[in-house]
Amino acid sequence: MKTWKKNLVAAAVLVTVCTGIYLNWLYAEQSTAADLTDMLDAEKVMNDDTLVFAGEAEILAGGEQAITTASDYFAAVRLSRQEARDSAVNLLQEAMAYSDQTKAEESSVQLEEIVQTALSEAQIESLVIAKGYTDCVAYMTNEGISVAVASPEGGLQEADVAVIADIVMSQSDYTMRDIRVVEVQ
């Protein structure tokens, strides 16, 4: 009796796997993609120059909805940064799936760089907030890092900028000349 049940379970698993393989093959036949560039628009391909805050100009210019407080600004910038990164990650994952081994490895390296950048930015933001600043957003590029900090009472002083720069230099490879601190009123 037990052998009969084991055989039935094995047959059911085998049928399920075969059905999945057949459906995958059928789907692949329907969506024949000759080349990855046929699938992706040139505007959607991300690199260091195009990985910027989506809609940053709208946010700074007021856009459709005016940002009324500094916390709204920080929330909007974080959301925009996350959407840009998610888009870049999706594109890199597609590139890895539809390209040869060499290009897949390059995409994997770029994906890891995005993850490391996001982690570094999060650490810097957490440490700046831990130093007593209300809110902070860090944005890293190859050329430098911009750190937007909520204006403390009395505005940012040289000591404040020094503390923020020290945090950035301890958590990254940037030098003092690569760091830009922006006060958000």
Question: CA torsion 18→21→27→28, rounded to 10°?
Answer: -150
Residues 119 and 117: their CA atoms lie apart, in Å, by: 5
Residues 6+ apart with CB under 8 A from 99: 36, 107
More confident site: 181 or 71: 181
Residues 163 and 165: their CA atoms lie apart, in Å, by: 6
136-140 sheet: strands from edge to edge = 136-140, 145-150, 179-184
Q: Is the pLDDT of residue 183 over 80?
A: yes
Question: CA torsion 173→176→178→184, rounded to 10°?
Answer: 110
Query: Environment class of residue 92 by beta-carbon count within 10 Å: exposed (0-12), middle (13-18) or buried (19+)?
Result: buried
Q: For the segment 18-66, what is each residue's pLDDT rounded down to a tens digit?
A: 787 877 777 666 554 444 444 444 444 444 444 444 444 444 444 444 4
pLDDT of residue 168: 92
Give per-residue burial for 170-182: e unless 16+ CB within 10 Å, then b.
Answer: ebbebeeebbebe
Indicate whether this model's pTM tops 0.85.
no
pLDDT of residue 30: 59
Percent of the chain, pLDDT > 90? Answer: 15
The secondary structure element, H or E, covering residue 3 is helix 2-30
Q: Is the pLDDT of residue 78 over 70?
A: yes
Which residues on adjacent β-strands are paired with residue 139? 146
As a whole number, the mean pLDDT across the chain is: 76
The number of angstroms, rounded, from the C-alpha of 8 to the middle of its chain's C-alpha atoms is 46
Q: How confident is the model at residue 164 (pLDDT cuts 50, 70, 90)?
A: very high
- Average pLDDT on 140-162 reads 89
